[in-house]
Amino acid sequence: MGTVTLGVSIAVPEPHGSALQSRRLGFGDAAAAGIPTHVTLLPPTEVPAADRPLIEDHLAAVARAGRPFPMRLRGTDTFRPVSPVVYLRVVAGATACDRLQRRVRAAGGPLDRQLGFPYHPHVTLAHGIDEDAMDIAQAELADYEAAWTVRGFALYEQDEAGVWEPRREFRLAGRRAPAVPPRTPEAAA
């Protein structure tokens, strides 16, 4: 049956998701056409296709143990020079994202894997494009801000053309999350 390339992520909701994807395309990042705007919980991971039911059962268990949480994006940053990426910072929800990604990649589980870099939740704005275009992306969205309540995550599969398609959504089953925290003068600093 072969292998498939899977990823697990939190979708950035509308209207933010498509607007940010459009901006990413506008900066010259053509790969953005096949990548929904997201916060990664599991980077691209090749697995046996036959393991998909086991993986979905595992992700369902992770979701049942999780709770909705507030997410806030604000401002830009970069991984340059280590990696050619400009991104939006996760300023609320990073700890919850880290907890989820650890559960997704749990030792001995079907998605057990080591990461090439320490986990750092973010939303990619530009990847692997011209340095000047990356500088523009970082400057133009430096004041960007969006907030929502994360109520779940999704399993994605990469097709032969490199496009990421959602395969299944998983709702966080715990109690309601607190409201998205208000922006305070200290948080703005």
Structural domains present in the chain? 3-188 (3.90.1140.10)
What pTM was computed for the model?
Answer: 0.89
Res 179: pLDDT: 45
Least Cα distance to 170 among 37, 51, 65 occurs for 65
Nearest to 100 by CA among 58, 128, 44: 58
Please state, in angstroms and as integers, the Cα–Cα distance from residue 38 to each residue in 32, 59, 119, following that order.
11, 17, 15
Among the residue ranges 31-40, 49-58, 99-108, 172-181, the one predicted with the least confidence is 172-181
Q: What percent of the chain has pLDDT over 90?
A: 89
More confident residue, 180 or 26: 26
User: Where residue 178 falls among pLDDT bands split at 50, 70, 90?
Assistant: very low
The residue type at 171: R
Mean pLDDT on 6-20: 97
